Structure 1
């Protein structure tokens, strides 16, 4: 299923009963299908669900992961398949490692991707260590990505289904973590196959809708969450044209993102304008024509390298600067703590706080990635 060249799903070459696997269960259909599959094959399966934020608020939101309903659903799956299930309180860790940074990044004029930080700092760090403490041989998740054996050890590859591929959100996975992780759904051709798998096991979540929003952001209203976390964050300021003209006012930089066109309150102007820069310190939303969004040079920080050989030097890659665009031809340059990507063709709306993920020039291998900075 995940591409390992061995005699069993998880790639250990041992009888499943002798292989203990901790499954990270969010309560959704993907992780539930993974847990049920492994349990049905006779693996010593242990389900673990993380309580990431307050149930009282979360339980009201049906489509968020790790909310009260989802913990209940994960428990029901474990009971139906007959394996143990534990709920771990990670609220404090999640707040410190993910939510606080999310709020502070928006206050600084960046556009963060908290799902990447959650994978990096919570699921693939603390939860992975918990799996080791439980004497697990590996940890399995419901992510759509593949772990393939290469000449130099395990490699990270895009999912077989490009529509479901989650490699953008997992670029910061380290080599050590990758050695312990398994992704049984990565080789499936479609999401429909996952639901069919869940239906085959009679799981109560087989038809459960996919989560659409960031789990702690009800209805996608980022500004409301940030204002609650950082009272007074939405301070008014000026909407300024790139040529210096003040065109209007806004009610908080946190309400805007690079590339935004709608909702600027600038009707009646002769040219369409887009947000081209957010100056949090000056409380300015800077707008300009569409061509000002185009850039070829992408400065990076916190680079994670999964390619062969040392990261230093120049690498031909394909780069993905947003989760919703395909990888583009590019050149990666790494020198000490400094790194940048030079895109073969300009991209619009490259925003600090987003990730730039590296892929091999040909094929599906993920070579790592880094966080986009303002330079």
Structure 2
């Protein structure tokens, strides 16, 4: 129970469905002041109190479990390491993968519970053979299946999403108000919970340092300078210290971050169009494409939709598994070619594949191929 309206209503519905429910709030920092306060966060002292009030109204036991050390290692430290490597991580995805449906689920199963229920907007369906599948929520505007794309078949077997079939968030808020929950009108959480003031650049500079370097265009010419490459993200336009204007006078955007040489590469907006993405860290949300009957052989390409951000539109694509270059035998990477170019994709982001409403699986993007060749 995060302290928000969704998890409170999910807990109440689980009780009414006949389950024996225990409310658990995750303490993710031993210094709560380092996490966002008020309505902006999802794991503050205020949120814990909101969750307890909801649990009291529902009439269920309520506990706070300390996962602060695991959260620091698996989410915060990972976030720093990814940025240091010039990648753009998704901490909410890592939190779901390593905390809520790994550390939390492991502890729950060890204590004799059957499942973890959350307030995520997503559905679990069962195929004709009894295999569980992850699907989009009924309300696509609130659908959160993207951030759950990291779940495995084993984790889906012990997961419940009581809000998945709800037509709208407005209905959930109305239900919360009818139940007497004080969080009925509480705003949704957003932004990165462990960066108190939202200043990602400053937060990173304090932890990994910042060293002045150069900004180059796609041909390698120096066009400016920066105070630390770690602070830049793919697609960024603002905050570029460019001393040399572009030949056509058009604005330039960050195309690549090179931490090894402390360089940032910029170019025109159209160079952000990506014709291909690939990643070797991949997983299937249930049965993979061969076992699902989507393809007959692991090397066969298959049609799907790819989504690269939690709130972006899915794009029709063709995906295939190919041997990973330079890797041991049997290691593969997932290569995805969208039918129309994706925009502003960065290594470190997560590409989630859909077949219809079903989440097939995901990969962390290792590399991208621009749709616009580098000028000769």
SS of equivalent residue, structure 1 residue 169: helix
Partner of 1:81: 58
1: distance between equivalents of 2:142 and 2:39? 21
2: distance between equivalents of 1:257 and 1:28? 30
C-alpha distance 59-169 of structure 1, shift in aligned 2 (>3 A): closer
SS of equivalent residue, structure 1 residue 102: helix
Partner of 2:21: 45
* Contact in 2 for aligned 1:59/1:69 (Cα 8 Å): no
Give the structure-1-normalised TM-score.
Answer: 0.88
Per-residue CA distance 1:18-63 (angstroms, 9 max, x = gap): xxxxxxx111111011112223455311001110012233364541
Per-residue deviation at 1:252? 1.3
C-alpha distance 255-61 of structure 1, shift in aligned 2 (>3 A): farther
* Contact in 2 for aligned 1:58/1:216 (Cα 8 Å): yes
Q: Matched residue pairs, number?
A: 347
* 1:129 corresponds to 2:116: no
Give ranges in structure 2 of 5+ residues lacking alignment: 292-296, 323-330, 369-376
Partner of 1:372: 365
Superposition pairs of residues 244-283 of structure 1, within 5 angstroms: 244-266=220-242, 269=246, 270-283=249-262
1: distance between equivalents of 2:24 and 2:260? 42
Per-residue deviation at 1:343? 1.4
* Contact in 2 for aligned 1:160/1:188 (Cα 8 Å): yes
* 1:355 corresponds to 2:350: yes
2: distance between equivalents of 1:59 and 1:174? 30
Superposition pairs of residues 1-375 of structure 1, within 5 angstroms: 25-53=1-29, 54-58=31-35, 60-152=37-129, 153-230=131-208, 232=209, 234-266=210-242, 269=246, 270-306=249-285, 307-310=288-291, 312-313=298-299, 314-335=301-322, 336-360=331-355, 363-374=356-367
SS of equivalent residue, structure 2 residue 54: helix
Mean CA deviation greater in 75-84 or 129-138: 129-138
* Contact in 2 for aligned 1:107/1:280 (Cα 8 Å): yes
SS of equivalent residue, structure 2 residue 311: coil
Give ranges in structure 1 of 5+ residues lacking alignment: 1-24
C-alpha distance 200-61 of structure 1, shift in aligned 2 (>3 A): closer
Please provide the CA RMSD for this pair: 1.8
C-alpha distance 83-158 of structure 1, shift in aligned 2 (>3 A): same
C-alpha distance 175-41 of structure 1, shift in aligned 2 (>3 A): closer
* Contact in 1 for aligned 2:305/2:316 (Cα 8 Å): yes
Give the structure-2-normalised TM-score.
Answer: 0.88
Per-residue CA distance 1:240-261 (angstroms, 9 max, x = gap): 1112221111111122111112
1: distance between equivalents of 2:111 and 2:23? 11
SS of equivalent residue, structure 1 residue 160: coil
